[in-house]
Structure 1
Amino acid sequence: MPTLRSLVPVLVAAALYAGLAAIVTNSYYQLTLTLVLVWAIFGLSWNLLSGYTGLVSFGHAAFFGLGAYTTALGQIYLDLSPWLLIPAGAVIGCLAGLVVGIPTFRLRGHYFALAMLAYPLAMLYVFEWLGFQEVTLPIKRESPFAYMQFSDPRLYTLVALAMLVAVVVITRAIEGTRFGMALLAIKQNEAAAEAAGIDTLSWKLRAIALSGAIAGAVGAFYAVVLLVVTPPSVFGMLVSAQALTVSMFGGVGTVWGPLIGAAVLIPVSEILHAELGARIPGIQGVIFGLAIMAVILLAPEGVYWRVRDRLRQRRAGSPVTDNRPAAVEASVVSFAAPPLPARERRRTGAVLLSVRGLSKSFGGLKAVQNVSFDVHEGMILGIIGPNGAGKTTLFNLLNGFLRPDAGQVIVDGRDRVGERPHQLARAGIGRTFQVMRPFLRMSVRDNVRVGAYLRAASEEEARRLADEAVDRVGLRGAADRIAGQLTTKELRLMELARALAGQPRLLLLDETLAGLGHGEADEVVAVIRRLAETGITIVIIEHTMQAMVRLVDHFLVLDHGAVLMDGEPERVTRDPQVIEAYLGKKWVAHAHA
């Protein structure tokens, strides 16, 4: 739970807002104050899913509208109080979120966004077909408080304010926990989150369920405020657009974003609608469109992040850099020889990983062809081969990102083919990536903590495991730095620490030395050696051959997706077929020298 100290700014802002509501007597302005809170809550519900996971929803009006009709129809047909119907709207929104999420989370990117758009549009036509084009809530003069029909409009503002504070507390409670860290990891790199052991589908379903619940609750309250519900007013495009716009304008992925966006955009749009709506129909849509354009041009991540980054830049006294290196597979073999002594060869442990007849094709391209090999406990296996040999595809088959057309991946005697990456992570397989996949807006410690959740039973244990992993790779001094400010070497070590935090038995390292200078490569190789000495089994893809022959116990050579050779480094590097297919004559000359 968030500490009281962390909630002080929110509570102070709420007290000031309540004071403003108390002195405003104009009924229209009082309604505007209430609507600011309504759209802030709705923006927080959208932000909980889209802001934290990065999956943009154009369909949150579906949950909002179901909540509104829950109140309207519940009063008309069941004579229930809104005090009961608002929680009921939350339950219906939660269930709707699960029903929508299960099929829709199979989609990615703009396909997900377009699929979400279909749900409120479908509901709009369904409710019109059912004859609910305009539903008016009955007036209850005998017990107005029980039916939330206040004579003083300021009470609506206070109820909305209480709901907003509750939603803010829920969001803040989520942000720093396993739930929030999982969502942020999914947003910044879903593949890396899966490899770190996060069941991404499960966490996304929880996010959309909670998001739908909040949207349903505030939709139910919105019906009470307006007393009239029509399908376009609760399921229309503008409704979803308002949630999206207030969040994007203020800043996604933070509790402050929807609050800032609603506080700025809703009063402006409402006032302009009142003044110019008759002459310029749809002026509210114009305002939201202009807001989105301004954000895209001036502050792509929103006002909050723009201001926060500027303040950090001033405190630091230098520009905030965003190192986003893109490691590309090397096209030539590096002959930089790290000054490391040869490692004692190991191949005496039990078989930890056994690969049998693994094959994968993409159309007519045979990326991996009938590959078989064993990895013994405690050994370092090096996988080499020319570009396009199928090395990374093989890794993706080993840890569940791809499903093979044929073959077995046996870990501890059990065939793991068909299991997802997070399941294989739980089985003890850790992974780093050829193209680095850091969570750029998280600190080093939080990046690593995401991996620690795989084994940790509590937040305290996750922090302890993360700190231990950070220490093991030598990043203690950089633990609190933001990942987006790290050097390539530090990012490589941080990804290694994130994998280590899940306490793997087997590490798959995909070009861990790519993009590093000679001295930096030496440091990373030394870290890998230390890990191997502690008993971790390692399979590594790398092009820096002089480092590899001193590091690995055994080589697997791939060419056009098939095993060209399998043997000890000395024999592999002298084999004529390997030299012809991969190493080349330069290697022979260098090795003789």
Structure 2
Amino acid sequence: MNMSVLKSIRIFFALALGYMVLAIFVTNSYYQLILTLVLIWAIFGLSWNIFSGYTGLVSFGHASFFGIGAFATVLAQIYWGLSPWLMFFVSGIIGAVAGVLIGFPTFKLRGHYFALSMLAYPLALMYVFQWLGFPEVSIPRVHDNPAAYMQFTDGRVYTLIAMVFLCAVVVLSRAIEASRFGMALIAIKQNEAAAEAAGIDTLRWKLKAIALSGAIAAMAGSLYAVVILVITPQSVFGMLVSAQALTVTMFGGAGTLWGPIIGASFLIPIAEVLHAELGNFLPGIQGVVYGVAIVVLITAAPEGMFWKIRDRLRSRKEETSPVIADQPVAANVTPLPARETRGLNPEIVLDVRNMSKNFGGLKAVQNVSFQVNKGMILGIIGPNGAGKTTLFNLLNGFQLPSEGEVMVDGVNMARRKPHELCQAGVGRTFQIMRPFTRMSVRDNVKVGSYVTAKSEEEAETIADDALRQVGLLHIAHQLAGGLSTKDLRLMELARALAGKPHILLLDETLAGLGKEEAVEVVAVIRRLSASGVTVVIIEHTMHAMVQLVDRFLVLDHGQVITEGLPQEVTRDSRVIEAYLGKKWVANA
């Protein structure tokens, strides 16, 4: 573990020790119960956070796992005499399996459709258990060796058990945050398409996340049943249960270790005390507390209290810190030979055959065929709506072709997923920049290295080398969200390079750049080409493209109208009429 991980764990353990000292001196049984419930709901919040906080896929259905764990523990003791000590771990296995079974079909949905579909699972389970004849079940009391069945007269023992469980989950969560697992999940959250293009198998990582999250949630439900003694389908599968996991996490700050702990420590005692004092007069007062918390969250700290405080402290630190000027990117590179005189490698690395894509009656791409030599720079041009980006999406697996083949090194990669194309050596940047804004520049690029790196050390070495190639190593520790357009373009190029591609697909990499900035980026691309990387680029800045590319492929209405050397294509009457216009010839 790195130093920041160890530091946060030390801070947590110091706070946990103080919490247990407080628990020792609490003798009132109800307040002992509240102390235990704070820990259980913090664990449940952390389980929700491992999935929804890190991936950004909001789950309204985590009560499914919580309730499964609770009922499995109670029913196993009632019918088979199994100890909750055993069922605590068995519930985790059941929760993990349930996570995969729920996640696999549901991950096909996006946005609010995913969130609402997750809500259906606990509601369905609630009615199933009621139909099965379990409107209320209780843990059987054991008088002979009750400790073997996790039954204690002193409530502080349950607080200790819950704290040990919480410590284990905190260590696991912090390890995930600092690992390849956590980086992949955060990348998925911030931009799933960019994560997929960087080589991350998003479905596999999401299934791992929901399985682990479901296991922890089910174990939390198991412990909750033992502590509460009596459970009902409504109390463990109800909407308020999922709402508590979501609210405590988002109130504290989703996507961070401290969020669920802050939220549970603040909201659970308030809700429980108000319920005890006012529950007879105001039933449902707990829901009111969570509703108010959400309103406060939306108005005061939309991303949660942790992020609000951290960003404020960081801004103060930046105000008082001396400003250090960025080192300029080295733009004076040794000029390459003119493109028209450069000899090309005869090896064909990309062979596109009869590629077509139909959207209903619209033919976006029609029978497009071309070949790209190793180390070549091919420029794809054409008017808006010509089908250029659609063609890129077909080459990179983001869309499935209606027909055609994409031969990469002699292997047909059509209809393969983006991460499979990345593993095959095809890198990609996007027309609209897709940074992982809350990650540093180095971490953004490191995500791209995971497709080949076998360890974190190797990933960091690859990331630094890619940043060095594009001239951004000096700002590796800056947050990506604060970069200029040029640096964002170069960072995305570095992220693609970190996957060690031999083919780069660049979608309008010069868009939004000034003349001098475009020159710097063009210099980087030419260096990459000189090193043997094959580049296929879409771009509208024709003066830069003429100096950059070896050949042009011109599209119009999804069809190839011509292909050839830059000086030939820019004088072709069909290209002038469809794309360049007569002014180009006059000013060329």
TM range (shorter): over 0.9
Structure 2 length-normalised TM? 0.96
How far off its partner does 1:76 sit? Answer: 0.6
Contact 1:451–1:502 (8 Å) recurs in 2? yes
CA-to-aligned-CA distance 1:214-237 (integer Å, 9 cap, x gap)? 001010000000011110000000
In structure 2, give the amino acid aligned to 1:96: A
Contact 2:336 2:526 in 1 (8 A): no
Question: 1:124 & 1:409 partners in 2: Cα distance?
Answer: 49
* Secondary structure of residue in 2 paired with 1:408: strand
SS of the equivalent of 1:28 reads: helix
* Cα displacement (A) at 1:281: 1.2
- 8 Å CA contact 1:345, 1:552 repeated in 2: no
What residue is the counterpart of 2:83 in the other structure? 81
Is 1:487 matched up with 2:489? no
Amino acid at match of 2:432: V
Which runs of structure 2 are paired with 1:362-511 in the superposition (5 Å)? 362-511=359-508
Cα distance in 2 for partners of 1:310, 1:586 equals 52
Q: 1:213 to 1:227 in 2, by over 3 A?
A: same
SS at match of 2:280: coil
> Structure 1 stretch 340-349 or stretch 251-260: which is displaced more?
340-349
* TM-score normalized with structure 1 length: 0.95
Give, in angstroms, the shift of residue 340 of structure 1: 8.9
Match of 1:33 in 2: 35
1:254 aligns with 2:250: no
- Residues 269-324 of structure 1: CA deviation (Å, up to 9, x unaligned): 111111111111111111111111111111111000000000000000089xxxxx
Task: Report the 3-state secondary structure (helix = DSSP H, G, I; strand = E; otherwise coil) of the residue aligned with 2:298.
Answer: helix
User: Secondary structure at 2:149's aligned position in 1?
Assistant: coil
Displacement, 1:144?
A: 1.5
Q: Structure 1, residues 104-147: CA drift from partner, whole Å, max 9, x if none?
A: 11111111111100100010000001001111111112112111
**Structure 1 position 348, deviation (Å):** 2.9
Separation in 2 of the partners of 1:549 and 1:349? 22
- Counterpart of 2:67 in structure 1 is 65
Distance in 1 separating the partners of 2:444 and 2:343: 32
Give yes or no for contact 1:45–1:212 (8 Å, CA) kept in 2.
Answer: yes
**How big is each residue's C-alpha offset from its partner over 1:556-581, in whole Å with a ceiling of 9 and x where there is no partner?**
00001110111110000000110010
Q: Residue type matched to 1:507 in 2?
A: L
Classify the secondary structure of the residue corresponding to 2:148: coil
Q: Does 1:347 align with 2:349?
A: no
In structure 2, give the amino acid aligned to 1:342: A
The equivalences for 1:524-539 within 5 A come to 524-539=521-536
Counterpart CA distance in 1 for 2:57 and 2:425 is 29
Q: Which structure 2 residues correspond to residues 504-523 of structure 1 after superposition, within 5 A?
A: 504-523=501-520
| CA deviation vs aligned residue, 1:219-263 (integer Å, no higher than 9, x gap) | 000000001111000000000000000010000000100000000
Q: Is the 8 A contact 1:378 1:538 kept in 2?
A: yes
Name the structure 2 match of 1:327.
none
User: What is aligned with 2:267?
Assistant: 265
420-429 vs 354-363, which moves further? 354-363
For 2:452 and 2:230, the matched residues in 1 are separated by 51
Alpha-carbon contact 1:346-1:379 (below 8 Å) kept: no
- Secondary structure in 2 matching 1:557: strand
Given residue 338 of structure 2, which amino acid in structure 1 is its aligned partner?
A
The residue type paired with residue 168 of structure 2 is: A
**Displacement, 1:80?**
1.3
Task: Report the Cα distance in structure 2 between the residues aligned to 1:340 and 1:349, rounded to whole angstroms.
Answer: 19
Q: Which runs of 4+ in 1 moved over 2 A?
A: 1-6, 339-349
Distance 2:343 2:479 in 1: 38
1:341, distance to aligned residue in structure 2 (A):
7.3
Q: Secondary structure at the match of 1:354?
A: strand
Q: Percent identical across equivalent pairs? A: 67
What are structure 2's unaligned runs of at least 5 residues? 322-334
Greater mean deviation of Cα atoms: 234-243 or 582-591: 582-591
Cα distance per residue 1:489-543 (max 9 Å; x no partner) = 0100000000000000100000000001111111110111111111000000001
Residue 327 of structure 2 corresponds to which residue in structure 1?
Answer: none
Q: CA deviation at 1:210?
A: 0.1
Instruction: Provide the secondary structure at the position in 1 that maps to 2:60.
Output: coil
Alignment match, 1:330: none
**Uncovered stretches (5+) of structure 1, i.e. residues with no partner:** 320-338
Distance 1:266 1:457 in 2: 42
Partner Cα distance (1:415, 1:17) in 2? 60
- The count of residues paired between Structure 1 and Structure 2 equals 572
Q: Does structure 1 conserve the Cα–Cα contact (< 8 Å) formed by 2:64 and 2:121?
A: yes
**What's the CA shift for 1:363?**
1.8
* 1:7-156 to 2 correspondences below 5 Å: 7-156=9-158
Report the counterpart of residue 549 of structure 1 in structure 2.
Answer: 546
Name the aligned partner's letter for residue 54 of structure 1. Answer: G
TM superposition shift of 1:5: 3.5
Q: What SS does the aligned partner of 1:370 have?
A: strand
Deviates more, 1:570-579 or 1:140-149: 140-149
> What is the 5 A alignment of 1:218-237?
218-237=220-239
3-state secondary structure, aligned to 2:302: coil
Instruction: Give 1:588's match in structure 2, choosing from 582, 585, 588.
Output: 585
Match of 1:196 in 2: 198
Residues 74 and 85, structure 1, Cα contact 8 Å, conserved in 2: yes
| Alpha-carbon distance, 1:347 to partner | 3.0
